[in-house]
A = this chain, B = another copy of it.
Amino acid sequence: MKALPPVRILSACDRCEVRRKSICNAVKPVLQKEISRISRVRTFEAGNTILAEAEDSVFLGIVMSGILRVQRTMADGRQQIVGLLLPADFFGRVFERTSGVAVEAATDVTLCCFERHAFERLLSRSPELEHQMFLAVLRELDAARDWMLLLGSQTIPERVASFFLILHRRTTVIEPDMPSRKRRLSVHVPISRHDMAAYLGTTVETISRVIQDMSRRGIIEIHSPQHFGILDEKRLVRCSGREELSIGHRCLADEPHMAVG
């Protein structure tokens, strides 16, 4: 008796939009199945806390849609965003009871969640998965160091320009066939001025002033509070003080991020 052709059961993961960019794509199918088995999709509204700063982190996962902010808050209320997570990015701190950072929904979000201990067991059994996580955390550390340069050595206008360029880079699918001259450059800033300020180490007022000024000087164009056009890319790069952020220039920050929150 002949064996029937294998029937492929579609799991939720097979329809996952971020899969090919996330850690799931980097491991063998058999492992993907195991990940799939312990995963659970959850949604949160903008403003909700996914993981609190002091609390035990019981789960972690991958952003499917929306934006997460990873932040630390001081006793007197000052807060610093230490990471912004876009779809396909990983959040949560493995191998530590608590991480000392909070993870919050900056917009409505859909997350693919794992119970932390289950995921850690998987990591322990699978060096391949752990290797991929290791690579992701290394990239995240590179990005964190890059941000330290921004916070420690750059002026506010430079930070804003850098932010636009990095955001553009991370959200744009590179289309090399289209001549960059003709391409209409636009950036969508998916967060509020308040979050921008907390990310760039400044205040909402200053953010606003800098943006208006860049617009007045014809470097950018304000379509709406969150949508901008880049009118003069070269000048924007010059404003950022960092040649390496020039569009087309590859860099480490392109890779998905990893929040250890």
Contacts and interface: CB of A to CB of B under 8 A. Distances in A.
A242 B74 contact: yes
A122 interface: no
Interface string A121-145: 0000001001101110110111011
A260 B142 contact: yes
Interface residues of A, number: 46
Nearest to A93: B138
A219 to B, nearest CB: 19
A177 B93 CA distance: 33
Interface stretch (A56-64, A96-104, A227-235): A96-104
Contact of A144 (B130, B141, B200): B141
Nearest to A251: B100
A80 interface: yes
Interface stretch (A16-24, A32-40, A149-157): A149-157
Contacts of A78: 153-154
Interface of A: 70, 72, 74-76, 78-80, 82-83, 93-96, 99-101, 127, 130-131, 133-135, 137-138, 140-142, 144-149, 151-154, 200-201, 241-243, 251-252, 260
Contacts of A99: 142
A174 B70 CA distance: 32
Nearest to A202: B152
A94 B144 CA distance: 17
A201 B242 contact: no
A83 B200 CA distance: 20
B242 A83 contact: no
